[in-house]
């Protein structure tokens, strides 16, 4: 059992090292097209810079946007940009009708512009037989994908009848966008499709045709599948995700127009990042030095666990991926302190058990058992606080909370599993049966016979 535990720890550590340091590593993104995602460390606006775009919330007809309307538009834009996979955007209102969007990095700028610029007005529009013909005999007019639809065509219903949307695929393997309609929309669509088989029907987003399929048969149940008009491949992953996100998070109550865009420099920059990493490295070395001097052999095991923890957390950051900002780095440093704190609790309890006359194996097990409740309570409290910040905070606060959650969970694994497994093996070695290795006097290290029954009773009773 102990060997299996050590093997698991070793495998996880090796995989983490590969994720951290293997150049140009990419892993499957689980997209329908089987594409890969490059594993990289993402940096936030304060460390990397990015794109800044200013928008104006424009009037719709005679209606002019109020400050409350601008706030609603801002919230919808923030949800859209977050759903695109761009981490920790900054979305701010400026005045009564201005919205500023700042996005880390520049690789997805065009996608962000398209996503923000769409109002998300979805319409299901019948195409009359006399103008558009049928699937077997097309008429003089055509609804072309990506082109505006003539305004005289009246929609059967709008996006208000949309219940949910997701990305799927059809029987030919092409990527599709699937909708589920509300009961009212479902009934209207079922009645219309039953009465107009072999006619064209357009699905229109922001006045432009997304798809204009032929009604093959009646469509009851309210489930609709949109397929791109391309003969090969259908929607790209980016197109499908963008369309689903626009529709999932609702239509903008007012259209937006881009006023200006510009790249922004990092507020902290590479020099600050280098200094922060240097300071973090010095802090970890000082912690390791303290653990070695004060706790000696257990401190050496804890130092190894701390290095293991750092490697594992960085790998998780790259896999998720987590965007590292100054707030995120602060969350990581805080979690390092909590990881060390757990080891200190364990070792102090272990020294108490040794002074009570228990053997080394008994003292180690009892030390972990007695410290566990304190460690669990402390970490659960931190997780509750971090979860509240993640659920209700702004994007920057969410980044800090996410880093803290990952760090706390990982520190519990390294403190309880990694340190414990290694200590169990080390204390069984003859060379480890020396009092000075544990920071206690020789007369305090008095072994007495141990057994599984007595050990459980002692660990449970203290």
Q: Cα dist. 213→108, 193, 233, 260 in Å?
A: 31, 12, 16, 38
* φ, ψ dihedrals at 118, nearest 5°: -80, 130
> In this predicted structure, what is the pLDDT of residue 312?
93
User: To which H or E segment does residue 104 belong?
Assistant: strand 98-104
Q: Tell me the three state secondary structure of residue 37.
A: strand
φ and ψ at residue 142, rounded to 5 degrees: -135, 145
Q: Which residues of the chain have pLDDT under 70?
A: 1-2, 28-36, 82-88, 105-109, 111-112, 114-115, 117-120, 151, 228-234, 246-251, 267-270, 273, 395, 441-462
For residue 165, the SS3 value is: strand
What is residue 388's predicted lDDT score, i.e. its pLDDT? 93
Q: Among positive and negative, which fits the CA dihedral 134, 139, 141, 145?
A: positive
Nearest to 76 by CA among 110, 108, 119: 119
Q: How high is the pLDDT of residue 84?
A: 54
Query: pLDDT for 24-62, tens place per residue?
Result: 888 765 544 445 677 878 777 777 777 788 888 888 778
Instruction: Yes or no: say if 125 and 156 are a contact pair by the CB < 8 Å rule.
Output: yes
* Three-state DSSP class for residue 259: strand
Residue 265 backbone class (left: φ over 0; alpha: ψ -120 to 50; beta: rest): beta
**Distance (Å, whole) CA 328 – CA 212:** 46
Specify the residue for token string 């055509």: 142
Q: How far apart are CA 182 and CA 190, in angstroms?
A: 12
Distance CA 102, CA 267 (A): 12
In whole angstroms, give the CA distance from residue 240 to residue 33.
12
What's the rounded Cα separation, in Å, for the pair 139 and 142? 7
CA 94 to chain centre: 28
**How many CA atoms within 13 Å lie on the side-chain side of 361?**
13
158 has which bridge partners?
A: 123
Q: What pLDDT is stored for residue 424 in this prediction?
A: 84
* pLDDT for residue 137: 87
Residue-level pLDDT at 17: 93
What pLDDT is stored for residue 111 in this prediction?
66
3-state helix vs strand vs coil in the chain, percent to 5: 55, 20, 30
User: Which secondary structure element, helix H or strand E, spans residue 79, and what is its range?
Assistant: helix 67-83
Q: In residues, how long is the chain?
A: 462
Helices (H), 356-436: 360-392, 395-413, 419-426
Q: How far is CA 440 from the centre of its chain?
A: 46
Q: Give pLDDT, residue 445.
A: 60
Nearest Cα neighbor of 361 from 299, 304, 440, 425 is 425
């Amino acid at each position: 059992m102990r060997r299996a535990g050590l093997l698991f720890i070793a495998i996880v550590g090796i995989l983490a090292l590969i994720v951290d340091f293997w150049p140009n590593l990419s892993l499957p993104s689980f997209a329908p097209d089987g594409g890969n995602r490059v594993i990289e460390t993402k940096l936030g606006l304060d460390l990397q810079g990015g794109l800044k775009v200013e928008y104006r919330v424009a009037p719709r007809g005679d209606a002019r946007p109020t400050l409350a309307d601008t706030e609603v538009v801002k919230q919808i834009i923030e949800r859209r940009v977050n759903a695109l996979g761009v981490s920790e955007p900054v979305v701010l209102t400026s005045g009564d009708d201005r919205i500023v969007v700042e996005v880390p990095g520049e690789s997805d700028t065009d996608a962000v512009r398209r996503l923000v610029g769409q109002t998300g007005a979805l319409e299901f529009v019948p195409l009359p037989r006399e103008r558009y013909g049928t699937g077997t005999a097309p008429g003089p007019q055509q609804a072309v994908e990506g082109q505006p639809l003539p305004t005289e065509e009246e929609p059967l219903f709008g996006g208000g009848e949309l219940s949910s949307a997701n990305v799927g695929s059809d029987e030919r393997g092409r990527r599709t966008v699937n909708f589920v309609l509300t009961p009212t929309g479902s009934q209207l669509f079922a009645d219309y499709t039953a009465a107009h088989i072999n006619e064209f029907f357009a699905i229109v987003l922001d006045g432009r045709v997304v798809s204009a399929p032929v009604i093959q048969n009646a469509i009851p149940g309210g489930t609709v599948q949109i397929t791109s008009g391309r003969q090969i491949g259908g929607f790209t992953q980016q197109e499908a995700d963008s369309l689903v996100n626009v529709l999932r998070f609702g239509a903008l109550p007012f259209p937006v127009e881009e006023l200006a865009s510009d790249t922004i420099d990092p507020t902290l920059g590479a020099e600050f990042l280098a200094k922060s990493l240097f300071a973090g490295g010095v802090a970890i070395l000082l912690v390791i030095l303290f653990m070695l001097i004060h706790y000696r052999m257990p401190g050496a095991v804890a130092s190894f666990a701390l290095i293991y923890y750092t490697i594992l957390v960085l790998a998780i950051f790259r896999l998720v991926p987590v965007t590292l900002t100054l707030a995120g780095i602060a969350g990581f440093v805080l979690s390092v302190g909590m990881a060390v704190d757990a080891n200190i609790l364990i070792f102090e309890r272990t020294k108490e058990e040794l002074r009570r006359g228990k053997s080394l194996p008994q003292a180690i097990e009892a030390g972990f058992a007695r410290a566990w409740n304190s460690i669990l309570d402390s970490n659960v409290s931190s997780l509750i606080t971090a979860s509240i910040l993640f659920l209700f905070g702004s994007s920057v606060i969410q980044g800090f909370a996410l880093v803290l959650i990952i760090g706390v969970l990982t520190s519990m694994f390294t403190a309880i599993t990694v340190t414990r497994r290694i200590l169990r093996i080390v204390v069984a070695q003859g060379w480890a049966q020396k009092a000075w290795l544990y920071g206690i006097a020789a007369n305090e290290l008095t072994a007495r016979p141990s057994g599984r029954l007595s050990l459980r009773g002692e660990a449970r009773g203290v």
